[in-house]
């Protein structure tokens, strides 16, 4: 009979514990289903490590190879983490570092402004010029706020500047060709980026929606926002579940029924894998044996579309915010990635998201910006018109 040292027994116990936890986690994820208020075990699928800045994820997910844009983004991102903590105080030395980053961002923008504008397609330049003037003014405000050491206003203004830079970059590549399967061509699509503001009874939440890597999921969401489908709905959340979900309308249907056709709209699971030029449709990444999505569940406020546990292609209107809790997940287990379609991240209002509880109110959702201007297509509406026209044709 082998003899184990105390360290050997400790390692064996750790491995056994991980095995038991892993089995429980897999069972729990199978039980999550729609991730609605009855799902009491969503904590089982959280990623490990510290939460990643959503700005960094979205920057890396941009299919735009522009050095000036990347540099501007990095200067705005690479600042002391205490900026993200409302309770933390910044030291004078940290404010000096922040001021230097802003100064470098201003210098980069001024040096490359003409090249940035030249990279925009001619018919988008009037809008781009307005956006560039906004970036210039916002960066100047950031320098003043850093000198004043005004943390609250600086954080809000930095998000505004970053959003403007991101949307400027989105206009540089107005048509990224994505081979969307024919079965899904009639669905709304977003080929770019958009900003959506959700007004809740606890305050506003701003989402950057990414249609480059989830064109159908993002397009479906924007369409429902513009239809005012999400207005006057409630949030669901359980204390043990690190997700906040909404989008479930009243009545028997658990999603969107188009009033023009009386048909239930479902959308496919859609995940872009790093290194691919188009998303994977209709299959989880686990089924395909790959686990590296471009838009991971690695940031506080990751926004994803829900779907029934038994049907990854059964999503419709219900979406959820992922509340990052790294201490609740054993190392190496992130079972949400590739199981649900991420289509954006909360870039402002994380403190509001943290306060939302079961029964809180979603007052309204509004699309406040989109880039490029023609990035959102409503082929679904064209399909509706064709169906209506066909129904009026006399029978042969």
Query: What is the distance between the alpha carbons of residues 87 and 124, in angstroms, rounded to a whole number?
Result: 41
Helix 54-61 and helix 151-170: axis angle, to 10°?
A: 10
Q: What is the DSSP string of 284-308?
A: -HHHHT---BSS-S-STTEEEE---
Q: Is the peptide bond before 372 cis (omega within 30 degrees of 0)?
A: yes
Please determine whether the domains at 42-51+179-391 and 64-81+88-170 fall in the same fold group of CATH: no
Question: Which of 36-45, 260-269, 300-309 is predicted least confidently?
Answer: 36-45
Place 20 in a pLDDT band, splitting at 50, 70 and 90. very low
Radius of gyration of the chain (CA): 23
> For 42-51+179-391, which CATH superfamily applies?
Cyclophilin-like (2.40.100.10)
Question: What is the distance between the alpha carbons of residues 72 and 63, in angstroms, rounded to a whole number?
Answer: 16
Nearest to 161 by CA among 366, 348, 354: 348
What pLDDT score was predicted for residue 395? 41
The 8 Å CB, 24+ separation contacts for 183-187 are 184/216, 184/267, 184/268, 184/281, 185/379, 186/379, 186/380, 186/382, 186/383, 187/216, 187/219, 187/220, 187/265, 187/267, 187/379, 187/380
- pLDDT confidence of residue 327: 58
Q: What is residue 383's predicted lDDT score, i.e. its pLDDT?
A: 43
Q: What is the pLDDT of residues 97-120, one digit of tens each?
A: 999 999 999 999 999 999 999 999
The one-character DSSP state at 322 is: E
Domain assignments of the chain as residue spans, ordered by start: 42-51+179-391, 64-81+88-170
Q: 30-81, pLDDT tens digit by residue?
A: 344 444 433 332 333 334 457 788 999 999 999 888 999 999 999 999 999 8
Supply the CATH classification number for the domain 64-81+88-170: 1.20.120.290
Cα distances (Å, whole numbers) of residue 149 to 65, 95, 137, 141, 288: 34, 7, 18, 12, 50
In angstroms, how far is CA 124 from the centroid of its own chain?
Answer: 25
């Amino acid at each position: 009979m082998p003899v184990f040292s105390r360290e050997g027994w400790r390692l064996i116990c750790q491995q056994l514990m991980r095995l038991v936890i892993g089995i429980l986690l897999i069972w729990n994820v199978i039980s999550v289903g729609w991730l609605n208020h009855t799902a009491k075990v969503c904590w089982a699928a959280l990623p490990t490590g510290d939460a990643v800045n959503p700005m960094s994820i979205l920057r890396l997910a941009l299919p735009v190879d522009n050095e000036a844009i990347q540099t501007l983004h990095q200067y705005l991102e690479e600042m002391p983490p205490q900026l993200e903590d409302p309770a933390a105080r910044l030291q004078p030395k940290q404010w000096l570092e922040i001021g230097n980053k802003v100064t470098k961002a201003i210098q980069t923008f001024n040096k490359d402004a003409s090249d940035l504008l030249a990279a925009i397609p001619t018919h988008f330049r009037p809008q781009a010029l307005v956006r560039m003037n906004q970036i210039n003014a916002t960066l100047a405000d950031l320098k003043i706020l850093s000198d004043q050491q005004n943390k609250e206003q600086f954080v809000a203004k930095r998000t505004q500047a970053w959003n403007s830079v991101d949307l400027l970059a989105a206009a540089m590549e107005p048509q990224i060709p994505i081979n969307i399967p024919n079965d899904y061509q009639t669905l709304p699509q977003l080929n770019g980026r958009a900003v959506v503001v959700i007004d809740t009874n606890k305050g506003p939440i701003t989402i950057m929606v990414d249609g480059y890597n989830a064109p159908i999921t993002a397009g479906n969401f924007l369409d429902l926002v513009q239809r005012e489908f999400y207005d006057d709905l409630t949030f669901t959340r359980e204390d043990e579940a690190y997700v906040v979900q909404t989008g479930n309308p009243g009545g028997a249907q658990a999603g969107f029924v188009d009033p023009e056709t009386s048909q239930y709209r479902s959308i496919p699971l859609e995940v872009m894998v790093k290194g691919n030029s188009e998303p994977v449709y209709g299959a989880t990444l686990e089924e395909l044996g790959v686990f590296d999505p471009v838009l991971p569940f690695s940031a506080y406020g990751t926004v994803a579309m829900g779907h029934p546990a038994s049907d990854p292609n059964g999503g419709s209107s219900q979406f959820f915010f992922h509340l990052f809790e790294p201490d609740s997940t054993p190392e190496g287990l992130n079972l949400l990635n590739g199981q649900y379609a991420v289509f954006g991240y909360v870039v402002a209002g994380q403190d509001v998201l943290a306060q939302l509880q079961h029964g809180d109110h979603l007052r309204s959702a509004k699309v406040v910006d989109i880039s490029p201007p023609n990035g959102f297509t409503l082929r679904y509406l064209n399909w509706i018109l064709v169906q209506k026209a066909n129904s009026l044709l006399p029978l042969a």
